Structure 1
Amino acid sequence: MKHWKRLLSCVLAGSVALALAACGQQSAGGSSAGNQSTSQSTDQSREEVSSAAQSSAGSGADASGTESGAGSGSVLVVYYSATGNTETVANYIAEATGGDIFEITPAEPYTSDDLNWTDENSRVSREHEDESLRDVELTTTQVENWDSYDTVFIGYPIWWGIAAWPVDGFVEANDFTGKTVIPFCTSSSSGLGESGELLAELAASGDWQEGQRFRSSVSQEDVNEWVDSLGLSAE
């Protein structure tokens, strides 16, 4: 009898041990599954954050691209000045637009005597009478980064109702395709006349706009008002 009780006790103890082991394994398995679920959730969250960051970065790049494409582009102010009046206006325009400056310079500069139009033997008088003499050699017609400019102002004094001919060589030597070209001139009494139209014909390229004539003693305020009217003010 005692033998059977002892045997029954061993069997019960073994059953309890097996049951406890099974519970432990289930508990461990549950913990592992929980960890796996948590890990998957964490990875998913990271992927979502990464995707959102990439989307945000992409949106920023698009916005930046749009902003970089806005505006009127670079401005260049080209001028020939015989006595300094056109140079003054050109500097006013460059300051108002934030543009760059390029001076047209004859290889043989005009002296005061050369510019004496009342003397029929002066250089300008002879060039006026003989068009073949108007092919004025320039020190250079090449502008650095020419292709980067979208808007080009062309300034000159008026000689006998037209643009001073040193400007012709520069206009003929450059391609204005894709550029907005705005002529301006200075004179004591003469108007712009057909000077801008004649230069446009020489260029045979570019979108030439109606020009503006300024008196020799024009104020910076007047020039700024004109630039503002064109929508090209840097401010």
Structure 2
Amino acid sequence: MKKICALFMGLLLMFGLAACGNNQQTGNEGDMTANNQAGSQTSPNASEKGKTLVAYFSASGNTEAVASVIANKTSGELFKLEPAEAYSSDDLDWTKSTSRVNKEHENESERDIKLVSASVDNWDEYDTVFIGYPIWWGIAAWPVNEFVTANDFTGKTVIPFCTSASSGIGESGELLAKMAGTGNWQSGQRFRSSASDSDVTSWLDQLSY
């Protein structure tokens, strides 16, 4: 009788150990599935947002100041549009009929301003491009034209901004978009000549791109 009881207890012990082993294995598989799912959410192959470029032409420093704030707030990279033949203060004096900007305004063929460089290194890495300029006679200052026509904005979000003492942004952004022929151009923003950092930041906070 004692032998039968011992045999019965041994069988119970073996079944109990087998059951524990199966439960433990199932639990490990469940953890592995959870870990795999978590890993898929943070996969290194997940697409990341591209970089931001802030290209600008500044005649008197006002547009450059705004561009610097934008670059700082968006972690963007600045790209200064520099005419190969730089404008002097006399060139920019629109009150003189003989000044360079007046002559260029009167004769559209003279607005083909060559830049030191219109091409950006690693252009394809930029998803968002801000383009800044002062307003000249109701339109974007023409030194930005070569940059707009020289680059392919396909697949990029393009956001114009300008500075002006009195004029609004008008159709300057639309005209540049037509000139470019590519890109997802958004409505632009005009800043006063002495725009504060908070003015620029408030505008950036409202953008969705």
Equivalence for 1:149: 126
1: CA distance, partners of 2:188 / 2:96: 30
Q: Does 1:130 align with 2:107?
A: yes
Structure with more helix by fraction: 1
2: CA distance, partners of 1:48 / 1:110: 76
Q: Which moved more, 1:54-63 or 1:221-230?
A: 54-63
Return the TM-score normalized by structure 2. 0.82
Cα deviation, residue 56, structure 1: 5.8
Equivalence for 1:105: 82
1: CA distance, partners of 2:98 / 2:52: 39
Equivalence for 2:142: 165
Cα deviation, residue 73, structure 1: 3.4
Pairing of 1:85-124 with structure 2 (within 5 A): 85-124=62-101
Cα deviation, residue 215, structure 1: 0.2
1: CA distance, partners of 2:63 / 2:107: 25
Name the SS of the counterpart of 1:172 in structure 2: helix
Name the SS of the counterpart of 1:117 in structure 2: coil
Count of aligned pairs between the two proteins: 199
1: CA distance, partners of 2:121 / 2:33: 40
Letter of the 2:47 counterpart: G
Equivalence for 2:47: 69
Unmatched tracts of structure 1, length 5 or more: 1-37
2: CA distance, partners of 1:65 / 1:176: 29
Compute the RMSD of aligned alpha carbons.
2.9
Cα deviation, residue 100, structure 1: 1.1
Letter of the 2:41 counterpart: A
2: CA distance, partners of 1:53 / 1:140: 56
Cα deviation, residue 109, structure 1: 0.7
Runs of 4+ in 1 over 6 A off after TM superposition: 47-54
Pick the aligned partner of 2:168 from 181, 191, 198: 191
Equivalence for 2:58: 81
Cα deviation, residue 87, structure 1: 0.2
Q: Does 1:59 align with 2:37?
A: yes
Return the TM-score normalized by structure 1. 0.74
Cα deviation, residue 228, structure 1: 0.2
1: CA distance, partners of 2:87 / 2:27: 70
Map Cα deviations across residues 127-173 of structure 1 (whole Å, 9 max, x no partner): 11111111111111111121111111110000010000010000000
Cα deviation, residue 187, structure 1: 0.5
Percent identity between matched residues is 56
2: CA distance, partners of 1:114 / 1:210: 30
1: CA distance, partners of 2:30 / 2:84: 62
Letter of the 1:96 counterpart: K
1: CA distance, partners of 2:37 / 2:45: 12
Letter of the 2:43 counterpart: G
Cα deviation, residue 69, structure 1: 3.0
Name the SS of the counterpart of 1:157 in structure 2: strand
**Is the radius of gyration larger for structure 1 or structure 2?**
1
Unmatched tracts of structure 2, length 5 or more: 1-16
Letter of the 1:113 counterpart: D
Q: Which moved more, 1:92-101 or 1:154-163?
A: 92-101
